[in-house]
Amino acid sequence: MVLPTSVFSAIPPAEWIASNDVGFAILDRFPVTEGHSLIISHRVISTWWDATASEQAGLMALATRVKLILDGRFAPDGYNLGFNAGAAAGQTIDHLHIHLIPRRTGDVADPRGGVRYVIPERGNYLTEPTE
Reduced 3-state DSSP string for 49-69: HHCCHHHHHHHHHHHHHHHHH
Residue 33 DSSP SS3? coil
Q: Is residue 98 part of a domain?
A: yes
Q: Is residue 57 part of a domain?
A: yes
How far apart (Å, rounded) are the C-alpha atoms in residues 14 and 26? 10
Expressed as residue numbers, the domain containing 76 is 15-105
For residue 1, what pLDDT is reported? 47
Enter the pTM of the model. 0.89
Q: Is residue 66 part of a domain?
A: yes
Q: Is residue 116 part of a domain?
A: no
Q: Is residue 124 part of a domain?
A: no
For residue 131, what pLDDT is reported? 54
Q: Is residue 111 part of a domain?
A: no
Condensed to tens digits (0 to 9), the pLDDT of residues 68-127 reads 999 999 999 999 999 999 999 999 999 999 999 999 999 988 888 888 776 676 656 566
* Short-list 67, 72, 73, 6, CA closest to 40: 6
Residue 80 DSSP SS3? strand
Q: For the chain, what's the residue count?
A: 131
Q: Is residue 125 part of a domain?
A: no
Domain total for the chain?
1
Which CATH number covers residue 56?
3.30.428.10
Is 97 assigned a catalytic role?
yes
For residue 113, what pLDDT is reported? 82
Q: Looking at 36, 42, 95, 97, which residue is catalytic?
A: 97
Question: Above 50 in pLDDT, residue 17?
Answer: yes
Q: Is residue 70 part of a domain?
A: yes
